[in-house]
Amino acid sequence: MNSIKGFLLILVLTGSCYSKDWQGITPLHSTRRDVERLIGSPKEPNGNVYDFGKELVVVSYSRGRCVKGWPYGWDAPFDIVTNISRAPKVAVVLNEIDIDVTGYEQDRNSDTPGWVTYRNQREGL
């Protein structure tokens, strides 16, 4: 029983940014060139995963204007940032970090047991 409780306490907090700046990068405004100037090159050429040692950052880019509209894609120029996601490389116990999740929606991913995503659509986090 204690192992189950311990497992449940290990929550992975994944931040995702839809409208807020992160490290000077602004979704729907910044380009791939801006990202690489600000935080460096991705792990693989033309990739979108950036390794910061303790966390991975995935920057999603538009593939160009979408003729079908949302939810099929972003109607944004090619290589414009559409989303920024951050994930720690080690498990994080939520009560050990200084983040107030009041007002955040909680999403437990059934594909990845133990992972929890918190989102605040109003704040763009």
Residue 107 lies in a domain: no
Tell me what pLDDT residue 106 has: 85
Position 95 scores a pLDDT of: 75
Strands annotated E in the chain: 12-17, 49-51, 55-61, 81-88, 105-108, 115-119
Residue with tokens 């306490």: 9
> Which pLDDT band holds residue 89 (cuts at 50, 70, 90)?
confident
* Residue 54 within any structural domain of the chain: yes
Q: Which of 35, 15, 13 is nearest to 26 (CA)?
A: 35
Q: Which domain range does residue 79 map to? A: 13-94
- DSSP-derived 3-state class of residue 96: helix
Least confident of 31-45, 77-91, 111-125: 111-125
Q: Is residue 108 included in any domain, yes or no?
A: no
Within 8 A by CB and 6+ apart from 118, the residues are 13, 14, 15, 101, 104, 105, 106, 107
- What's residue 2's pLDDT? 38
Domain-embedded: residue 56: yes
**pLDDT confidence band for 14 (50 / 70 / 90):** very low
* Domain contains 79: yes
Flag whether 115 is in a domain.
Answer: no
**Is the pLDDT confidence value at 117 over 90?**
no
Question: Quick check: is 47 in a domain?
Answer: yes
Number of domains forming the structure of the chain:
1
| Assigned domain for 23 exists | yes
